[in-house]
Amino acid sequence: MNILRHHQFLALAAGMCACLVAVAGALTVYAASTGSTESITLSPVSKRYTLNTGTTTNDSFTISNTGNVAYNFIVYARPYAIINSDYNNPNYGAKANGVANADAYQWVKFPVTTYHLNPGESATVPYSLAVPSSAAPGGHYGVIFAETQASGGNASIARDKRVGMVVYATVNGTYKMGATIGKPTIPFFQLEPPLSAAINVQNTGNADFLADIQYRVTDIFGNQKYVAKNTYEVLPATTRAIGLQWGAAPAFGLFKVQIISTALNKVSNNTAYVFMAPYWFYGFVAIVIVGGVMYALVRRRR
């Protein structure tokens, strides 16, 4: 009788587990099938202009709904200023208003500011840039935003999302262009990947320029292991700290690093060696050195 009850209990437990698995599976499928994704993309992400004072330029950009829910979005312009050398935290608010050349947003006009997009649709957003007659020659900057509007009828969309397009406007006239390329920082001892280096590029003028940076790594025999070429925007009266990394570098080795920097008509070519080794290697070397010293002392006493 006890054996029979034991088998009945096991069968009941197995049945309950099967039911729980089935219910969990059904819930998982249900959640996946009813998910709502709000997604907005803007193209292009930046625009460059060379303009004359007192003129108006017409242009447009594209907004796409790449999600699966419909939404309304609005467009507007804000100041654009760089407040740190990493260029990773542009300012679009009150601090940017204090920067003289962060004023191009005031030139932006939209004939329509509110749009609606269904899933898979795109909208062309026209705008104009009206340059005042008093605009100073040189660089002026702003950013155009497109921002979704939260839907009150859909609780899954709780936050607005926005994307931006930076406006780089150079006003014709007499202005200064100047660049200073700093000496790169390439630490010889590095403990773990990525193999890192950095270089600063300073803009001493009042118009932006593009800096081209080539980062090349070879082994001690001259065999190329990694190369990357990138272009970086440098705004007036700022210094841009450019970090360079080889993420797939091996954990151990001796490498030669070359950084070629070009800004305006200046070229800087710098090389250095990097020894990559993990923590334990230096610990092992320290133990060997200490052991060698102790052995030498013991032999001397004999």
Domain covering 179-278 in this structure, CATH number: 2.60.40.10
Instruction: Please check whether residue 107 is in contact with residue 132, taking contact to mean a CB–CB distance below 8 angstroms.
Output: yes
Interacting residues of 89 by C-beta distance below 8 A, sequence separation 6+:
83
Low-confidence residues in the chain, pLDDT < 50: 1-34, 153, 155-157
User: Which residue in this structure is represented by tokens 């008509």?
Assistant: 265
pLDDT at 151: 67
pLDDT digits (tens, 9 = 90+) for 177-228: 999 999 999 999 999 999 999 999 999 999 999 999 999 999 999 999 999 9
Phi, psi of 172 (to 5 degrees): -65, 150
pLDDT digits (tens, 9 = 90+) for 70-95: 999 999 999 999 988 999 889 998 66
Beta bridge partners of 219: 255
238 alpha-carbon distance from chain centroid: 18
pTM comes to 0.78
How many alpha carbons fall within 13 Å on the CB side of residue 62?
Answer: 8
pLDDT at 156: 47
pLDDT at 152: 55
- At 228, list the tokens: 């990357």
pLDDT at 299: 80
What ranges do the domains of the chain cover? 40-171, 179-278
pLDDT at 195: 98
Q: Fold match between 40-171 and 179-278?
A: yes
DSSP letters spanning 73-84: EEEEEEE-B--S
pLDDT at 97: 63
Beta bridge partners of 196: 245
Domain covering 40-171 in this structure, CATH number: 2.60.40.10
User: Which residue in this structure is represented by tokens 């360079």?
Assistant: 244
pLDDT at 280: 87
pLDDT at 134: 96
80-91 core/surface letters (b: 16 or more CB in 10 A; e: else)? bbbeeeebeebb
